[in-house]
Amino acid sequence: MPTTPLPFERATVVGAGAMGIGIAQVLAQAGLHVCLYDTKEEALKRALGKLHSTLGRLVEKGRMTQEEVGALLARIQPILSLREAADSDIVIEAIYENIEAKRSVFTSLDDVVADHCVLATNTSSLSIASLTSGVKRPDRMIGLHFFNPAPLMPLVEIVPSLATDPAVVARCIAAVKAWGKVGVVVKDTPGFIVNRVARPYYAEAMNMVEEGLADVATIDWAMTHIGGFRMGPFALMDLIGHDINYTVTETVWKQFYYDPRFRPNLLQKRLVEAGWLGRKTGRGFYDYPSKASSPAPKEDPALGQVILERILALLVNEAADAHYKNIASMEDIETAMTTGVNYPQGLVSWGAAIGFGRLLSILESLQQLTGDPRYRPCPRLREWAQSSPLQ
């Protein structure tokens, strides 16, 4: 008879940045006692101060009571030494994307936590296997990729490495659900699901600008007003920050051995080089705080449909390839894209509605016209063009 995975009761979150304090809030709201670790006391004070302000606004809106806030904050203990994480059932590392720094965290934890403690990383782009180097118990390491802001975004990508114990996977699946999140299981592959499948949303939009098919405002208009996306690709890249978005693209591209499907775009690289990083610097594809100086979109429904279907053709092709390579189940791929990046609908069901044959034809025409292998259709899409995967 299968045993029920043991729940986590005590956790440590490493890193008091925006993601770290967000994860700490999620765990504390779920009833866990949480140690929040950072090397700098001022970082801990700043993080807890921001959390206090955030929770205060929830009280003002009637979403939490003052008593609930007090209880939540009491469950978060700031610490400056990892030794104080000794009794943790799980440690979630949420520091910056640097492989050596992350490895150092896990090798330090090896001699601190008990054997039953799960070691998790929140990395968005590094392989879990690469982070196990030098760790004594790679079987207890796993990826738990939260999305920012962690308290609001429902998705968590659960990423076992080749060495991860299946019991650890089962325990994390149960825990993510208990934390009120939606978990999807994905292979240890570059970009996991979301950051892999979503790359064309940005790249193909920039390709169309470079070709002169449409300008920034028109493409954003097409994707929001016709496609139903919450934000167009250019507004979204400005929000994310071009330094972050470009780095993720470049990392995925390199980890896929420079596959042209993931090739970064010079248009975005130039923005990074100029320091035009988006909203946080006041300028990116748009000028901020307002877009008043930006040109009005060309609201041409026919052109908008061309833009939408071209981007969708690449997105659906990437989702099909993730399924073809057994990166995740079709259900988890659909869930990841609707809950992780708020797509209007799952890409496979959307592709079926448009017609896989139509999307395949778009890719084949682009590949023939440009000679660019980024447009090569994947075998699964060709299969789907002949028989619906939803039957």
Instruction: Write down the pLDDT at residue 355.
Output: 96
Tell me what the mean pLDDT of segment 168-188 comes to: 97
Instruction: Write down the pLDDT at residue 388.
Output: 61
Instruction: Write down the pLDDT at residue 390.
Output: 52
Q: Are 282 and 289 in contact (CB under 8 A)?
A: yes
Residue extents of the structural domains in the chain: 10-185, 196-386
Instruction: Write down the pLDDT at residue 1.
Output: 44
Distance (Å, whole) CA 142 – CA 118: 8
Instruction: Write down the pLDDT at residue 112.
Output: 95
228-236 own/partner pairs: CB under 8 Å, 24+ apart: 228/344, 229/342, 229/343, 229/344, 230/342, 232/205, 233/201, 233/202, 233/205, 233/206, 233/311, 234/205, 234/284, 234/285, 234/286, 235/285, 235/286, 236/201, 236/202
Model confidence over 364-385: pLDDT tens digits?
A: 999 999 999 999 999 999 999 9
Instruction: Write down the pLDDT at residue 6.
Output: 67
CB under 8 Å to 329, separation ≥6 — which residues? 185, 323
Is position 145 annotated as part of the catalytic site?
Answer: yes
For residue 185, pLDDT beyond 60: yes
Instruction: Write down the pLDDT at residue 259.
Output: 97
Model confidence over 132-150: pLDDT tens digits?
A: 988 999 999 999 999 999 9
State the chain's mean pLDDT as an integer. Answer: 95
Model confidence over 309-355: pLDDT tens digits?
A: 999 999 999 999 999 999 999 999 999 999 999 999 999 999 999 99
Q: Are 283 and 318 in contact (CB under 8 A)?
A: no
For residue 69, pLDDT beyond 60: yes
* 10-185 homologous superfamily: NAD(P)-binding Rossmann-like Domain (3.40.50.720)
Which residue is catalytic, options 33, 52, 145, 323? 145
**pLDDT bracket for residue 391 (50, 70, 90):** very low
Q: Does domain 196-386 have CATH number 3.90.79.10?
A: no
Handedness of CA 274, 276, 280, 281 (dihedral sign): positive
Model confidence over 274-319: pLDDT tens digits?
A: 999 999 999 999 999 876 667 899 999 999 999 999 999 999 999 9
Model confidence over 52-66: pLDDT tens digits?
A: 999 999 999 999 999
Give pTM, 2 decimals: 0.94
Instruction: Write down the pLDDT at residue 289.
Output: 80
Instruction: Write down the pLDDT at residue 227.
Output: 98
